[in-house]
Amino acid sequence: MALELKYSKDNVTFEIEESFLEDLERIGTAYIDDILTQMNNLCLSLDDVYNEIQTFGGVSHEGEALFFEISVLKEHGQHPFFLEVAEISTDEYLDYFLLQQTLQPREEYNSL
């Protein structure tokens, strides 16, 4: 079984797979803080769904724009459990946008 890591900031706790950290490193260290912030914000509004993985699209503007998707499992009474993060194309991100399944970017990027 993979190692489960916990992250806690501003009274928000979530768990991640060790492979999730490896995926973040492959995406690039410049984007990690922004992606973690967006994950933190997602945890505040994430719905409990029994035994179903939810997937969201996100964008980071830390340098060149990076489009990514995140898979998370959130069941009643449990912390969100993030499973995967992967880089995606602009078209794939737009699909998430049309489905209203996108992460909220950092505040300083809302004016872009």
Cross-strand pairs, 60: 66
**CA pair distance 93, 78, nearest whole angstrom:** 28
**How many helices (H) and strands (E) are present in the chain, helices listed first?**
3, 5
Residue 92 lies in a domain: yes
The domain of 62 spans 22-46+54-75+84-103
Residue 110 lies in a domain: no
User: How many domains is the chain built from?
Assistant: 1
Please name the helix (run of DSSP H) or strand (run of DSSP E) that holds residue 6, with its range, or none: strand 4-9
CB 52 within 8 A of CB 64: no
Residue 37 lies in a domain: yes
pLDDT tens by residue, 60-107 = 998 899 999 999 999 888 889 999 999 999 999 999 999 999 998 766
pTM, two decimals, is 0.83
pLDDT score recorded for residue 3: 46
Residue 70 lies in a domain: yes
**CA pair distance 53, 29, nearest whole angstrom:** 26
